[in-house]
Amino acid sequence: MAAILPFSPRFSRSSAVVADETAILANDLHPPVDLAEDLDRFRASIAAYLKPDDVAQVEAAYHFSAEAHRGQYRTSGEPYVSHPLAVAGTLAGWRLDPQALIAALLHDVMEDTAITKAQLTEHFGKTAAELVDGVSKLDRIENQSYEEAQAENFRKMLLAMARDVRVILIKLSDRLHNMRTLDAVRPDKRRRIARETLEIYAPIANRLGLNNLYRELQELAFRHQHPMRYRVLVKAVRQARGNRREVVGKILEAIRHRLPECGIMAEVIGREKHLYGIYRKMREKHLSFSQVLDIYGFRIIVKDIPTCYLALGALHGLFKPVPGKFKDYIAIPKANGYQSLHTTLIGPYGTPVEVQIRTSEMNHVAESGVASHWLYKDEQAMTDLQQTTHKWLQSLLELQSASGDSAEFLEHVKVDLFPGEVYVFTPRGKILALPRGATPVDFAYAVHTDIGNRCVACRINFESMPLRTELKNGDRVEIITALSASPNPSWLSYVVTGKARAQIRHFLKTQQQEESAALGERLLGQALRNFGIQGGDADSQTWERFLREIAPKGKRQVLTEIGLGVRLPAIVARRLAELRDRLEPAAEGETENRQATAILIRGTEGVAVQLAKCCRPIPGDPIVGIIRKGQGLVVHTHDCALLARQRGERNDWVDVDWEADVRGSFEVGLRVVVANQRGVLAKIAAAMAEENSNIVNVSMDDDRGQTTSLYFTLQVANRVHLASILRRVRRIPEVVRIYRIKD
């Protein structure tokens, strides 16, 4: 790599001069006095593990950044270059490679200066430039809200992270330093950034196993989002520390004596629960501070895995364990690769104490996570942690392809950022980790997208169970599939994983588009016949001109938009007719032959055609169709009360009629007023059953007199079928009055 002299973006970009590297190291730019100490510390940290040539490249990037940000200051008043230096310092603590450090030092130059990605590629190589681009925000799109812009930025960043995990490591370090210096920001912006940190960045750090970073981000976000609550808790913990010092000391001393007695050499560390953890426990379990007893805990670090279990036995012999509070994350690691034994013991004076037992390697992974060995070349060389991280990063690409927009993608990612504690087994004995509250549908999509899409039933522990059943630890789950099955919209009300939610929505959206395109074709055909175009479609030349002038998205997209109510068929038809007449004048007398043809309704069109819930039309009823934006064609009875209030919207009305041979069942509402006598409900139900009608729902009102009103929702084939049901029910002596409910 050629050495460069730092150039200023204020001058011509071609004025960058190649110079001897020693000139840079001599530092023509003397760092401000307040940066000198930080810069020396950073140099020492990277010199401890990088080669001299790499150190020189990183220093060149620092000087480049310092010149690019010359004259820029942070809100706190510090020179702006202090920020990228602090970000790079965090990465140096994780011992990341030179390219990541260079990108950290340059991560804001594309956003805040005139420097381009091409210039970064020229000076520091393609890899560093790609990393900087992945971290940089998109330019704000005009008329785009802050939330939409943020969602799009997150989408860009997370997809860049899926290609190279160093992108998110740089971004997390960037967020950490911003949170540490957030006091200089105005209060409303401070709270927004803190909330964003708790919702996105802290969970990502946890998902990558960066435990120390995760905890610090949570603490800082809590302090800035709820400053009063934070101060109250700090004071309460300080007081409790003095009150419980004697108890904690006794427990620590007892553990340090017991382990050597059992031949176990271990490092025992006492620790205090984090403030945000205490606050979250108080909020979720509705506890006061005095009721949160496990403020203190202990960490025991031993040499190997067998010693972990020996230490556990020794501690259970010393203090009684709390039933149900033991978790073995060594045998079944968390989704982020975390491994440890957790147990809660009853110490002196009945004080519960949480103890974590792990090896030195597990402790290293728990503190640094994927950053401790982030770089992987191929799947054979990956550790278990790297494989799980790699799978999660790849799942982001699946979510991206299944999500419709940035906000939806971000919603799915947020769901996946809060991993749970439910571990279930496949029929072959493989363990799957799912979020708490997961259902068999989530399990099916976790196995494979096709299994989820074709899921029809499930067996949990060899028993048939509903698909909405919440899974528990240790459940054995078997999914039953059918080739003709498809996702049910009701699944969205109880699935919890981002993948399941995204794939269900993707399938339904695709299905809706297909059905809407078919409906749009029928609606446009009807409108075209009104303009004298026979056959219900314009010729290819007319369509080609229409798409070139009006809708470059394509004919299918136009038909879908018509079916969804986004475009009016009459307007599209008029434009097509005008273009056709311009190309080929209409024959004399053709306009007199125009006639409207009604759209025929089968009742089984799917989501593109909906039967209105207000009037519940059935075959045989006179009907009217209305185009509703985003819903497609909604069919009402001609005397619907809701329709009467929309007379001013006749431009959206469509001529519709029932097909001659409509098959299927249609719901209808009935009110039956009966005399208050025993067994009358059974008689009416039997009469309806004899007419081959299924009762969907029944309810009743007590009229506080001699009569009672019964309300039925029935499934009928058509008006003739309904009439025969009404005749049979009227013959029952106890029936006073019966009529159909249309509202």
Question: Do 638 and 705 sit in the same domain of this protein?
Answer: no
Q: Return the residue matching tokens 């309300």.
A: 711
In the set 111, 147, 405, 578, the catalytic residue is 111
Q: Is 112 annotated in the active site?
A: yes
Total number of domains in the chain: 4
| CATH code of the domain containing 204 | 1.10.3210.10
Q: Please check the confidence at residue 544 and state whether its pLDDT lies above 80.
A: no
- What is the rounded average pLDDT for all residues in the chain? 77
pLDDT on residue 396? 63
Which tops the pLDDT comparison, 567 or 661?
661
Q: How far apart are CA 416 and CA 120, in angstroms?
A: 34
**CB distance 353 to 363 below 8 Å:** no
Question: Residue 416: inside a domain, yes or no?
Answer: no
* Lowest-confidence region among 230-239, 503-512, 568-577: 568-577
Of 353, 371, 389, which residue constitutes the final position of a domain?
371
Strands lying side by side in the sheet with 455-460: 463-465, 455-460, 477-481
Weakest-pLDDT range from 432-436, 593-597, 656-660, 689-693: 593-597
- 624 and 644 within one domain: yes
Considering the domain boundaries, does residue 208 fall inside one? yes
Higher pLDDT pick, 369 / 696: 696
Distance linking the first and last C-alpha atoms of the chain? 77
**Distance separating alpha carbons of residues 262 and 270, to the nearest angstrom:** 20
Which residue among 200, 220, 240 closes a domain?
220
Q: Comparing 126-130, 306-310, 363-367, 546-550, which segment has the lowest mean pLDDT? A: 546-550
Is 614 a member of any domain? yes
Express each pLDDT in 402-441 by its tens digit: 555 556 666 656 555 555 667 788 888 787 878 888 899 9
CATH number for position 355: 3.30.460.10
Judge if 587 and 686 occupy the same domain. no
* CATH (domain of 678): 3.30.70.260
Same domain, 248 and 345: yes
Say whether both 277 and 185 belong to one domain: no
pLDDT, residue 372, reads: 55
Q: What is the pLDDT of residues 584-640, one digit of tens each?
A: 554 444 444 444 456 777 766 555 677 888 888 888 888 888 877 656 678 888 888
**54 and 195 together in one domain:** yes
Mean pLDDT of 498-521: 77
Highest mean pLDDT among 217-226, 508-517, 529-538: 217-226
Q: Are both 53 and 180 inside the same structural domain?
A: yes
Same domain, 324 and 191: no
Give the domain extent around 235: 230-371
713-741 pLDDT, tens per residue?
Answer: 998 988 899 999 999 999 999 999 998 98
Q: Tell me the three state secondary structure of residue 96.
A: coil
pLDDT in tens, 355-406: 999 998 888 877 776 665 544 334 444 456 556 665 666 666 665 655 555 5
**Structure-model confidence comparison of residues 97 and 517, the more confident one:** 97
d(CA 168, CA 134): 9
Answer yes or no: is pLDDT of 308 > 90.
yes
Kind of pairing between the strands at 707-716 and 666-675: antiparallel
Per-residue pLDDT at 141 exceeds 50: no
Asked about 463 being catalytic, the answer comes back as: no
Q: Which residue in 21, 38, 54, 112 is the catalytic one? A: 112
| Residue 66: exposure state from Cβ atoms within 10 A (0-12, 13-18, ≥19) | buried
> Above 60 in pLDDT, residue 506?
yes
Which one-letter amino acid corresponds to residue 641?
A
Q: Tell whether 384 is covered by a domain.
A: no
Q: What is the torsional sign of CA 333, 336, 339, 340?
A: negative
Question: Both 560 and 702 in a single domain?
Answer: no
Distance CA 664, CA 718 (A): 9
- Sequence length of the chain is 743
Rounded CA separation 732/736 (Å): 9
Give φ, ψ of 193 to 5 degrees. -65, -40
